[in-house]
Amino acid sequence: MLAERGYLSQTSATRTPRGIEYEAFARVTRRLAAAAKTGTAGFAELSAAIYDNRRLWTILAADVADKDNALPEDLRARIFYLAEFTDHHSSQVLAKKATVKALIDINAAIMRGLSRAG
């Protein structure tokens, strides 16, 4: 048990910002997908996952809106647009006017980009 804790503390110390972003997207995307599979019975879990997904995208939007962000301007604009789309589509899902699939697909695309770039 002590060896496991020691190993875990070393691996977490070497995580990159890109890896941390990937893990945040992976966690919330798994929750979105799991809640979507449960249908109406999982609406509370879906709502909670959507809330966390919105928080993640809000943080990302604020980061790319910062004038000191080092990403190319075009990429920053596209990420900001996705954040706006995610917020709007989340409202549609919560109103039961859309499915969560688009949110999962967008997050998966971001995760693919993060894994390739790192």
Does the pTM of the predicted model rise above 0.75? yes
How many C-beta neighbours within 10 Å does residue 37 have?
10
Q: How confident is the model at residue 99 (pLDDT cuts 50, 70, 90)?
A: very high
Angle at 52 between CA 9 and CA 103, to 5 degrees: 115
Q: CA-to-CA distance for 99 and 87, rounded, in angstroms?
A: 13
Domain chopping of the chain, boundaries? 17-117
- Higher pLDDT pick, 39 / 103: 103
- pLDDT band at 8; cut points 50, 70, 90: low
